[in-house]
Amino acid sequence: MSVADITEAQFADEVLLSPVPVVVDYWADWCSPCKQLSPIIDELAREYEGRVKFVKVDTSAEAGLAAQQGILSLPTLQFYKAGRVEKSLSGGKSKNALKKVLDELI
């Protein structure tokens, strides 16, 4: 499963109305920690396929959405369940740290 980039116009349908928990990865192409986190997110998307949806928001292209969501640093991951942010993490994280959060979410 690939991790889709979404826009502000898609946010409500893809994240807030999703029947499964959603991880939103806020990133930018100039952000080194974002680039390090990206393959981990891709691996987790495959491992949790069908149980958790993963999407990415390019904060350079979607600055308004990032501001609306209160994103102050990159990378930031928001974990949504039933349309609400259950947890938010900023900075680089290990795969095991993210799996722990995901397992609590589902």
Q: Is 34 a catalytic residue?
A: yes
- The dihedral over CA atoms of 12, 56, 99, 75, expressed in degrees to the nearest 10, equals -120
Per this entry, what is the length of the chain?
106
Catalytic residue (one of 3, 31, 85, 89):
31
Q: Is 4 a catalytic residue?
A: no
Catalytic residue (one of 6, 24, 34, 40):
34
- SS3 for 24? strand
Give catalytic residues, as residue numbers: 31, 34
